[in-house]
Structure 1
């Protein structure tokens, strides 16, 4: 999870590059959790363009080694976790690639309530961005990228409406929480992940097979992992 723990710099995996529509995500039920395009009713899933936006309006992804525990009711939102890694929205200038791993600085978070589940959206900036040093908290986004936070709320509120679903709701009256709150939220989901990967909590359908967590009962050998990769169809 950490790129630099002392500085609270995190790794993030880009699932969906900015301006694209294919809904790729970490497939938590598959061995080794690959990136795959979501399938709904037998069809590949794409996010509609919600005027005036084109596709996703940030590099969208997740922080590894985090888990929003569906068995835990969040004291701030009153809703349980969505059973996925915690999501990030990278506001940096670079359009990243699918599967790219970037180092990010946390700026704040938005509490989306998605069909009754807590689904944190952590606002971050790529530390490699030339403007990264100017962004240290959510107020810097409001000041230096005017309209971006409002567009973010608008996008998350309406992106499912073209599919016939109602507008999404938010905790905190649609307000963004600041950097410190967001960092603590990320760290709490890391603790939930540690309980998950050590079998201290029920994984349900999540596949916890991994090659790197030394004390995890789910750890497999590199050879076993290679067999998993060879057993699936090519990219």
Structure 2
């Protein structure tokens, strides 16, 4: 089984129940996945800048020796290799913004916030110019998303190792937005959950709730329900690994400037032969130019609001 890394993000939206945890946040950065062949884990440090719950809040990343990195580009996808706000230099984690306001995940009954740890795989990219043969939709221009179904509530920016179990093909406003289902290898159930069928047996109802969550979470914002390829069925881990491999190749082309990434910022400190590579001094300057960390603003009352939607007929 392949070992990969998952970065638990917090850049796009916050939920309400676990504020400050990955089950409460959505980001656009990187994630990690791992298998049972345990290898030495590289530890990463986080540095907060700006005030939480404000437009200038960021979480930057650095290695254990203090070198600033991009979690999108410099954290290796596969564990054991030594080798995110996607439009910002060094791709720090930030909260999503719409029309100048911070966005929060709606509580769509009976789900309060996210129902898993939510993150993304580093060194992957869903190419918006590539039409998938199965879904007939192009990529959503982000790293590939991951739902970690482990029981531990992780913190935003935490990098963990997980096993890939399967994948769901969500269609979001015509774009293909893959959702990897995985489990933290340190979870108490990890030894017994190796396939998507194992999830059905040991966590009955979880996969159905996952489909329901992704189907409805944008409805309170006035958006239509999301659709799914394959009639909403989960594909197995072998299918998922092939999707991950393809998005890794798209990422390679992106960082080597072999494809047009548009507004995606590809600045990195370690990707070999990348024309976007910068020095550690330049990376440090980027972080130090961000606002200093400050006291968090209060959360708006809207984050505790419940939304009740009609049942499917």
TM-score interval (norm. to shorter): over 0.9
What residue in structure 2 maps to residue 3 of structure 1? Answer: none
User: Which residue of 148, 154, 157 corresponds with 1:90?
Assistant: 148
The answer as to 2:27 corresponding to 1:24 is: yes
Match among 5, 8, 24 for residue 11 of structure 1: 5
Structure 2 Cα separation of the partners of residues 233 and 134 of structure 1: 45
Find 1:204's aligned residue among 252, 258, 262.
262
Matching residue within 46, 63, 81 for 2:121: 63
TM-score normalized with structure 2 length: 0.71
Residue correspondences, number: 228
**In structure 1, distance between residues paired with 2:185 and 2:270:** 25
In the alignment, which of 211, 223, 227 is matched to residue 153 of structure 1? Answer: 211
Work out which structure has the larger RCO, using CA pairs closer than 8 Å and 6 or more positions apart in sequence. Answer: 2
What secondary structure sits across from 1:139 in the alignment?
A: helix
Identify which of 55, 74, 91 aligns with 1:33: 91
Larger radius of gyration: 2
Task: Let me know the Cα RMSD of the aligned residues.
Answer: 1.0
Instruction: Decide whether the 8 Å contact of 1:19 with 1:54 is kept in 2.
Output: no
With the length of structure 1 as denominator, give the TM-score of the two structures: 0.95
1:18 CA drift (Å): 5.1
Q: Is 1:111 equivalent to 2:169 in the alignment?
A: yes
Contact 2:26 2:118 in 1 (8 A): no
Unaligned runs of 5+ in 2: 11-20, 29-83, 294-313
Structure 1 segments unaligned to the other structure (5+ residues) = 1-6
- Give 1:24 deviation, angstroms: 3.4
Q: Which deviations, in whole Å up to 9, do the C-alpha atoms of 1:150-177 show, x marking residues without a partner?
A: 0000000000011111100000000000
Residue 110 of structure 2: aligned partner: 52
* The one of 78, 101, 104 aligned to 2:136: 78
Look up the SS of the partner of 1:202 in the other structure: coil
CA distance in 2 between counterparts of 1:65 and 1:24 reads 15
Give 1 or 2: higher helix fraction.
1
